[in-house]
Copies of this chain bind each other. A is one copy, B any other.
Amino acid sequence: MSEQIVVIGGVAAGPKTACRVKRLMPDADVVVIDQDSLVSYGGCGIPYYVSGDVSDEKELRSTSFHVVRDEAFFQEAKGVTMLTRTRALAIDRESKTVEVEQLDTGESNKLPYDKLLLATGSIPNRLPIPGAELKGVYVVNNMHRAIAIKNDLAQGKVTKAVVIGGGAIGLEMAESLADLWGIETTVLEYMDQLLPRIVDPAFAAMLAKHLKDNNIAVYTGESATGLEGDDSGRVCRVLTPKRTIDADLVIMSVGVRPNSTLAREAGLLVAPQGGIVVNNRMQTSDPTIYAAGDCVEIINQVSGMKNNAPMGSLANRQGRVAADNIGGIPSQFEGWVGSFIMKAFDCCIGGTGLSNTTAKGLGFDAEVAITAQSDRAHFFPTQAVIMLQMVFDRTSRKVLGVQGFGPMNDSILARINAAAALIAKGAVIEDFSNLELAYAPPFSTAVDALNATANVADNIAAGRLRTISIEDFLDWMDRPEGKPGWAALDIRHPKEAAEFVEKYGSDLWQAIPYVNVRSRYKELPEDKMLIIICDAGTRSSEVQLFLDSVGLRNNLVLGGGFNAIRRIGPDWWPS
């Protein structure tokens, strides 16, 4: 008899595994069940369907050659039986069967398996606040919700929206509402920055400013405490401890948790945080049962910690490994590093590895190097400045993470991808300094921005560069009296420095152009802590070494320079 392979879950890891298993074991009977009627969709594309970038939901469920991935497609093209509207009720590991219910008929029966794959995904969190069940309040976890939101938009029901949750999906949804539908959109984030834990405060602040510049209201350190509805039962207001916001659409995007009930009830090992425990062949504690995707717990290769990583890209990789092992190929999934990237209007933000905040929390001797460098040759017409940050461990010199903020093209992606590759290999700063990124003036610089960031990290790690954080300098700009001994040393062009000299006075804001520091350093005060600022931090580093050499060691460099300041701004900064 053919081997029976049953897959529970039909979105990402499930179909991936099923199809590859069928390719590796052409004689096997492969069955996928899913309680939904719509399966195998690109969930990450939902914000772009809602925005209208993707016009029809079918595109999210189609192959690259424009065939909809429905039951017939799986049967005919893949030889895989896809049972939709079919819910798995229980797994009987003794008899190796899955009890399933056909939702439309109520019939239930038992599917025998030789190997079983759990790809049960995740469940979106909902805030337990009054009004959470009103009409117009959505979580975005499947195509039906996406279609309902887009219908609301298309019918003109929405003029004001609130997105609760400043993670990647919430922000992508906010952009889609504000950008293409022109909806007055507010983002609420309970933590005190956007993309908490994923990026560090300075990068989150650049993103927040860019969103605000594009007419999205952003309130951090603030979440919804209640939702109010109108007579028709549709949401009309969002309450927070600080304000009341009108809204006829509310999107709750406050994280997900692994959907592991079935696994737990079957007696499989499930981690305290809810993820199904698997080994690096994606096997659960029952060797005939595999699991992949949002429902499992995986190891972070940088921190060594196990956690959930609900991402479509990881689900696909895990699915391939599960399929290989079911099919007799000893592939392994070694874990994840945490790569991400996100479009935000005409900018993008991305990262890989650990943030500085996370790394410090885990006990690393973490430090950051921040740069503002041209993405391509500075003389090439399309060049733009990209902000990069490297997080590294001072003791081991291991690179723990890289973050980037830049224009909406693939320039950040090009650096994050390279960083992800090296970080997965446990690379140290030197590996990044010598990394041979492809170079030609239309694409990059002879010393690539990522190399340059590593060189700054090297200088910091070796004690050749002392820096101040962007946050500290912004604090000083807002309230110089809070740090009485400080003064800025602005080495940019005098025209650039002029407005600041005027605002702060030439005592607090000293301006000596970079090329004149060697001849004019004696004008500098010896009793002040000088914060050296240029556009990118590079010239400032040189000036620090020079000032040190002439005995003026009381100085710090602002990494990323005015390119960082300009993208965040002190409180008085014009938007």
Interface residues of A (CB under 8 A from B): 12, 19, 23-24, 26-27, 42, 44-45, 48, 53-54, 59-60, 62-65, 67, 73, 76-79, 168, 172, 311-317, 320, 329, 331-334, 336-343, 348, 350-352, 373-375, 377-381, 408-411, 413-422, 424-425, 427, 430-431, 433-444, 446-448, 451, 455, 462, 464, 492-493, 514-519, 534-536, 539, 542, 545-546, 548-549
The docked-state distance in angstroms from the alpha carbon of A348 to that of B375 is 17
Decide: A420 and B443 in contact? CB cutoff 8 A.
no
Q: Whole-angstrom distance between the alpha carbons of A409 and B408 in the complex?
A: 11
Jot down 12 A-B pairs with beta carbons below 8 A, ordered by A: A27-B549, A64-B378, A65-B535, A65-B539, A311-B439, A313-B437, A313-B448, A316-B447, A317-B434, A339-B437, A348-B442, A409-B409
CB distance from A443 to the nearest CB of B (A): 5
Asked whether A430 lies within 8 Å of B331 as measured between CB atoms, the reply is yes
By a CB distance below 8 angstroms, the chain B residues around A381 are: 53-54
Q: How close is A199's CB to chain B, nearest CB, in angstroms?
A: 13
Partner of A436, one of B337, B411, B437, B549: B337
Smallest beta-carbon distance A428→chain B, Å? 12
Interface residue from B65, B77, B436 paired with A518 (Cβ < 8 Å): B77
Given contacts A23-B545, A418-B421, A549-B27, whether A443 and B410 have CB atoms under 8 Å apart is yes
Closest to A548 in B: B26
Q: A45 to B440: give the CA distance in the assembly, Å.
A: 8
Q: Which of A377, A431, A433, A442 has the most CB of B within 10 A?
A: A442
Shortest CB-to-CB span from A339 to chain B, Å, is 4
Main SS at interface, chain A: mixed
Cβ–Cβ contact A343 & B411, under 8 A: no
CB of A560 to closest CB in B, whole Å: 14
Query: Ordered nearest first, which 8 A-B pairs have the shortest CB separation?
Result: A26-B549, A410-B410, A421-B421, A341-B438, A313-B439, A417-B418, A64-B378, A414-B414
Residue contact A379 to B62, C-beta cutoff 8 Å:
yes
Instruction: Provide the residues of chain B in CB contact with A67, threshold 8 Å.
Output: 515
Q: Look across to chain B and name the residue whose beta carbon is closest to the beta carbon of A309.
A: B436
User: Smallest CB–CB gap between A416 and chain B, Å?
Assistant: 5
Q: Are A438 and B422 in contact (CB under 8 A)?
A: no
Residues from chain B with Cβ under 8 Å of A548 in the complex: 26
Residues of B close to A53: CB separation below 8 A: 380-381
Contact residues in B for A77 (Cβ distance below 8 Å): 514-515, 517-518, 542
Would A443 and B341 count as touching, CB distance under 8 A? yes
Q: Which residue of B lies closest to A337 (CB)?
A: B436
Known: A343-B442, A417-B437. A447 touches B317 (CB 8 A): yes
Question: Which residues of the other chain, B, contact A168 by a CB distance below 8 angstroms?
Answer: 440
Once the chains are docked, how many angstroms separate the CA of A442 from the CA of B420?
19
Q: How far is the CA of A266 from the CA of B27 in the complex (A)?
A: 73
B439 pairs with A312, CB closer than 8 A: yes
Which residue of B is nearest A19, CB measured? B542
Query: Which B residues touch A339, using CB under 8 A?
Result: 436-439
Q: With contacts A418-B417, A441-B42 known, is A424 near B411, CB below 8 A?
A: no
A42 cross-chain contacts in B, Cβ below 8 A: 377, 379, 441, 446
**Contact present for B493 and A313 (CB under 8 Å):** no
Distance A537 CA – B435 CA, assembled complex (angstroms): 32
Q: A23-B546, A64-B373 are in contact. List 13 more A-B contacts (CB 8 A).
A: A42-B377, A64-B374, A65-B514, A76-B519, A339-B439, A341-B438, A350-B438, A352-B436, A410-B410, A418-B420, A420-B437, A420-B438, A421-B435
Return the contact of A48 from the options B379, B434, B444 (Cβ within 8 A). B379
- Closest residue of chain B to A352 (Cβ to Cβ) is B438
Complex Cα–Cα for A339 and B77 (A): 39
Contact A434 B333 (CB under 8 A): yes
Q: Within the assembled complex, what's the spacing in Å between the Cα atoms of A333 and B431?
A: 10
Tell me the complex Cα distance, A204–B542, Å: 44
CB nearest neighbor in B for A410:
B410
Q: How far is the CB of A220 from chain B (nearest CB, A)?
A: 22
How far is B433's CA from A256's CA once the two chains are assembled, in angstroms?
27
Q: Which of B48, B352, B436, B535 is close to A336, meaning CB atoms less than 8 Å apart?
A: B436
Contacts of A448 in B (CB 8 A): 313
Chain B residues with CB under 8 A of A379:
42, 45, 48, 54, 59-60, 62
Determine whether the beta carbon of B446 is less than 8 Å from that of A312: yes
Q: Residue A417 contacts which of B338, B425, B438 (CB distance < 8 angstroms)?
A: B438
A462 B421 Cβ-Cβ under 8 A: no
Q: Nearest Cβ distance between residue A18 and chain B, in whole angstroms?
A: 13
What separation, in Å, do the CA atoms of A315 and B447 have in the docked complex?
9
Distance in angstroms between the alpha carbons of A535 and B64 in the assembled complex = 10
Bound complex: CA A492 to CA B316 (Å): 25
Cβ–Cβ contact A342 & B440, under 8 A: yes
Tell me the complex Cα distance, A248–B304, Å. Answer: 65
A439 to B347 CA separation, bound complex (whole angstroms): 16
Q: With both chains docked as a complex, state the minimum distance between the C-beta of A313 and any C-beta of chain B, in angstroms.
A: 4
Residues of B within 8 A of A492 (CB): 65
